Amino acid sequence: MREFLEILLTKEGYQVSLADSGERACEILEDHPFDLVITDIRMKDIDGIGVLKKAKQVSPDTMVVMISAFATADTAVEAMKEGAYDYIPKPFKVREFKRLVSDTLKSRKKSAAKKEKDVGGYCYHFDCLIGESPQMRKVYDLIERVSQTKSNILISGESGTGKELAARAIHRQSPRGDNPFVVISCAGLPETLIESELFGYKKGAFTGAAADKEGLFDTAEDGTVFLDEIGDLTPAIQIKLLRVIQERTFTAVGGTEEKKVDVRFISATNKDLEGEVMEKRFREDLYFRLNVIHISMPPLREREGDLPILSQYFIEKYSRELGKDVKKISAYAMDILSQYSFPGNVRELENIIERSVALETSSIVLPESLTLSNFQKHGRTETVDRRSTDLSHKGIDLDQAMAKVERDYILKALEITHGSRQKAAELLGISERSLRYRLEKLAEKQQ
């Protein structure tokens, strides 16, 4: 049986290791991680339950399938309690066994995507989204719950907040996860082209249509259609899209035959669609069809605690891609970033970090490597020259208060000058040498 399964699984494209006893299996598990362990239940020395426990001890993410000709309800229950994914009694059909292996590995892949990963000391991954703030955890929870439904989803949020990443996470964790994920940019196609791109066209439908062409809805069959910037659709296309969503049918340009389509719709917008409906620029019936479930992506400035996590992630990413040895961001540079409003959100932060890593000559991202936009919508209302001088009867530590004022002015000057120490010193009315000395003093206090 062991040799037969090795031949079968190898032909299916899997890499297979064999163990002729429970004891040998435990030895192999100590040395190598495995995605899937298939073990008999009844064996000498160490039985299948023992192998199961060892596999879970060494690698909790390893999936275990039990096989036995002597399986009973009690052993099955015990195996499930210990973390077995499934068990299959002998004899079994080959087709049934191959399906079980495939389903088990798919389940492991989805579980791994959902599970938060510990990277660089932070637990912050959820599929392809990054962050551990309460705002993002709410998004993760909602994605988990809606991914198994068939309902249409509307994702709203400012540009750069990760709306497409959220849509991909929903798709990957849904039953359609192995099928196409087709992105349609509603803002990127003129009305004269979007209809033929969506629905395809028949030969001779218009000048240049030399042959039949499938549309994006054909490509997305059994998968997910992501309609990006849905608020930019023209009224004429809105009507045709509404019909597809309602009837699940469409007709190619120049064609007469109706085609059925089985897709899930996820839409995204950075506009206030309710306001667009009120202003009669977006169809109310289409809005309600798309907005069955709503997910709001928070802007970066509202994601408490995520800025250092995202910055470190992008530093590691671009250090690898650019062949640099940048390890982290300095405390001063992080202070500057923390006072910036990020109108472009996570996408803007990624661009800032990529440029900083590319320009940096040391192993740490320094303030002078940062390039921030002068345009700051949602900027802070409190600035360093507007400070409360209220003094209570409890008194204050004047040295500490003055040090904080000095620190904030220095950081503000570095922010305004995009990290240039020379220009910052000029703004502060001190020499560059004096600024360097003050920065060194601040660094000593932080250590």
User: How, if at all, do strands 36-40 and 63-68 pair?
Assistant: parallel
Q: Are residues 307 and 222 in the same domain?
A: no
pLDDT at 384 over 70: no
Of the pLDDT bands very low, low, confident and very high (cuts 50, 70, 90), residue 153 is very high
- Angle at CA 70, nearest 5°, toward 65 and 75? 60
pLDDT at 239 over 80: yes
Task: Reduce the DSSP state of residue 376 to 3 states and report it.
Answer: coil
Task: Reduce the DSSP state of residue 266 to 3 states and report it.
Answer: strand
Q: Is residue 124 part of a domain?
A: no
pLDDT at 238 over 80: yes
Q: Are residues 272 and 254 in the same domain?
A: yes
pLDDT one-digit tens code per residue, 406-447: 888 888 888 787 778 888 888 887 888 888 878 777 766 655
- Angle at CA 222, nearest 5°, toward 218 and 228? 70
Domain endpoint, select from 245, 267, 296 = 296
- Angle at CA 410, nearest 5°, toward 405 and 414? 150
Average pLDDT over residues 157-181: 91
% of the chain at pLDDT higher than 70: 87
Predicted local distance difference test score (pLDDT) of residue 160 = 93
Q: Is residue 135 part of a domain?
A: no
Q: Is residue 423 part of a domain?
A: yes
Predicted local distance difference test score (pLDDT) of residue 302 = 93
Q: Are residues 285 and 338 in the same domain?
A: no
Q: Which residues of 48-73 are buried (b: 16+ CB within 10 A; e: fewer)?
A: bbbbbebbbeeeeebbbbbbbeebee
Domain endpoint, select from 296, 314, 342 = 296
Predicted local distance difference test score (pLDDT) of residue 446 = 54
Predicted local distance difference test score (pLDDT) of residue 165 = 93
How many domains, the chain? 3
Q: Is residue 125 part of a domain?
A: no
Lowest mean per-residue pLDDT among 46-55, 178-187, 375-384, 393-402:
375-384
Domain encompassing residue 25: 2-114
Q: Choose between 387 and 392: higher pLDDT.
A: 392
Predicted local distance difference test score (pLDDT) of residue 200 = 85
Q: Are residues 440 and 306 in the same domain?
A: yes
Average pLDDT over residues 123-127: 60
Lowest mean per-residue pLDDT among 19-33, 107-121, 126-140:
107-121
Domain endpoint, select from 274, 296, 318 = 296
Q: Give the integer Cα–Cα distance in Å for 177 and 222.
A: 10
Q: Give the integer Cα–Cα distance in Å for 124 and 136.
A: 10
Q: Choose between 362 and 316: higher pLDDT.
A: 316
Q: Are residues 252 and 360 in the same domain?
A: no
Q: Is residue 250 part of a domain?
A: yes
pLDDT one-digit tens code per residue, 5-57: 988 898 888 889 999 999 999 988 887 878 899 998 888 888 888 999 888 88
What is the domain-level CATH number for residue 240?
3.40.50.300
Q: Is residue 196 part of a domain?
A: yes
Cite the DSSP H helix spans in 248-343: 273-278, 284-290, 306-322, 331-338
Among the listed residues 293, 239, 285, the one whose alpha carbon sits nearest the alpha carbon of residue 265: 293
Average pLDDT, the chain: 82
Of the pLDDT bands very low, low, confident and very high (cuts 50, 70, 90), residue 111 is low
Predicted local distance difference test score (pLDDT) of residue 47 = 87
Predicted local distance difference test score (pLDDT) of residue 339 = 84
Predicted local distance difference test score (pLDDT) of residue 375 = 44
pLDDT at 387 over 60: no
Q: Is residue 269 part of a domain?
A: yes
Q: Are residues 161 and 283 in the same domain?
A: yes
pLDDT one-digit tens code per residue, 315-361: 999 999 899 889 889 887 888 898 888 999 999 999 999 999 998 88
pLDDT one-digit tens code per residue, 189-236: 677 677 788 888 888 777 778 888 888 888 888 899 999 999 998 888
Average pLDDT over residues 138-144: 90
Predicted local distance difference test score (pLDDT) of residue 423 = 83
What is the domain-level CATH number for residue 12?
3.40.50.2300
Among the listed residues 317, 266, 264, the one whose alpha carbon sits nearest the alpha carbon of residue 130: 317
Predicted local distance difference test score (pLDDT) of residue 123 = 42
Q: Are residues 213 and 344 in the same domain?
A: no
